[in-house]
Amino acid sequence: MNVYGVVVHGGAGRLRQGTKRKVLAEVEKAAVKGFKALNNGCSSLDAVVEAVRVMEDSPLFNAGVGSHLNLNGEIEMDACVMDGRKLDAGAVALVKSVRNPVLLAKLVMEETDHVLIAGRFAEEIAKRHGLKVGEVYTEKAIRIWREGMEKLRKGKVKYLQRLRGFLDSMETVGAVAIDRRGNLSSATSTGGLPLKLPGRIGDTPLIGCGTYADNESGAVSVTGIGEVAIKLVLAKTICDYMAHGLKAFEAIHEGLLLVKERQSNLPIGLIAIDRGGNIGIGHNTPEMPWAYMTNKDGRILSGLSFSEVNK
C-alpha cells in the first residue's frame, strides 16, 4: 500500500495556560485539511500549503494573522514552500502585511525565476496576484511585545537568555506531506522570534535550514530558535540522514542529538516524513503541538508533546 499523509506542527516551546485545547483543535483542523487535499488527489505541495494556511489564519499561532512583533513593534513574517519532485522552492522574508505568507512563497516559486524575495517587492507580488493584504496585528502579539519590552528595559534578560525567555511565544507553524504518487513537500511560516532585531531573517525561509523536501530523501519542517537551525543547516541535514537510510523518526532523533552536542540543546522542534511514508516528530522543548493523518491510520492523531505519540 502506498502511504500518503500529512504532519503539522504548531511551534516548539511551552504553551500558555488556557490555550492548550484550542491549539490542539487548530493543528488537528490543519492536518485534516491537508489530508483531505491528498485524498482528493491533490499534490503534497497543495496539502502542505492548505495545512499551513489554516494555522496562518488562526491568531493562536505565530504566523500570518497571529505574528509576533519585532523590537520596533513591527511585523516581519517569513515563509517557505518546497516541492521535492524537482527541488522547486519559493520563500519570502520580512513581509509586513500579507495574511497568508505561505501563498506568497508558493507564488515566488511558481511565478518568478527566484527562490527567496524579501521585503517590499514581495508585498508587491502579493498585491499583483490578489492575495489578502492588511492588518495582521493581534492584541495578543501587542501584549507579548509590551511585556517583552518591559523585561528588556529592566535589563532582566540578555540576548540568548532572552530567546529562552520567549519559549512560551514561539508558535511557528509547519507541515510536511507525501502524496499518492510518493511526492514529498514541506512548508513553514512564522512571524519570527518575538522582539527580534528589525531585518532579522530566521531559518524558516532559508532552504535547507527551516524547510526542505526532496523526493530522494524526505521532507522536514523546523521550529525553534532559527539561528540554531541555520548554523546546522538542520532541515537538509535531517533529509541527508534519511537519504542514507534512516527512517524519519530516527533522522529526527539524530537531528536532536546534533542540536544537543553542537548547540547546547537550544530550543528546536522537528517534523519529517520519509519516502516510505514513515513519520517523525521530535522536540527538546516542553511542548510542540502536532497532528498527523495518513491513509494507513485513517484517523487524526495529535498531541501537545512527542511523548504522547506513543500513548
Q: Out of 6, 7, 8, 11, point to the residue binding ligand ASP (CB under 6 A).
A: 11
Residue positions annotated with a catalytic role: 172
Amino acid at 109: M
Q: Which among 99, 141, 92 is positioned nearest to 120, based on CA atoms? A: 92
The smaller minimum CB distance to ligand ASP, of residues 66 and 210, is found at 210
> According to the binding rule CB under 6 A, does residue 10 interact with ligand ASP?
no
The smaller minimum CB distance to ligand ASP, of residues 67 and 278, is found at 67
Q: Which of residues 153-172 bind ligand ASP (CB under 6 A)?
A: 170, 172
> According to the binding rule CB under 6 A, does residue 44 interact with ligand ASP?
no
> According to the binding rule CB under 6 A, does residue 189 interact with ligand ASP?
no
The smaller minimum CB distance to ligand ASP, of residues 278 and 285, is found at 285
> According to the binding rule CB under 6 A, does residue 203 interact with ligand ASP?
yes
How many Cα atoms sit within 13 Å of 4 on the Cβ side? 23
C-beta of 222: minimal distance to ligand ASP in Å? Answer: 6
Q: Which of these segments, 89-97, 199-207, 212-220, 273-281, binds ligand ASP (CB under 6 A)?
A: 199-207
Q: How far apart are CA 78 and CA 258, in angstroms?
A: 25
> According to the binding rule CB under 6 A, does residue 190 interact with ligand ASP?
yes
> According to the binding rule CB under 6 A, does residue 64 interact with ligand ASP?
no
The smaller minimum CB distance to ligand ASP, of residues 11 and 255, is found at 11
Q: Out of 34, 208, 226, 277, point to the residue binding ligand ASP (CB under 6 A).
A: 226
The smaller minimum CB distance to ligand ASP, of residues 170 and 177, is found at 170
Q: How far apart are CA 38 and CA 151, in angstroms?
A: 45
C-beta of 269: minimal distance to ligand ASP in Å? Answer: 7
C-beta of 276: minimal distance to ligand ASP in Å? Answer: 27
Q: Out of 204, 278, 285, 302, point to the residue binding ligand ASP (CB under 6 A).
A: 204
C-beta of 209: minimal distance to ligand ASP in Å? Answer: 9
Grid coordinates standing for 275? 519516502
Question: Mask 243-282, x = binds ligand ASP (CB under 6 A)?
Answer: ----------------------------------------
Tell me phi and psi for residue 163, to 5 degrees.
-60, -45
* Cβ atoms 241, 254 nearer than 8 A: yes
> According to the binding rule CB under 6 A, does residue 224 interact with ligand ASP?
yes
Binding site for ligand ASP (CB under 6 A): 11, 62, 170, 172, 190, 192-193, 202-204, 210, 223-226
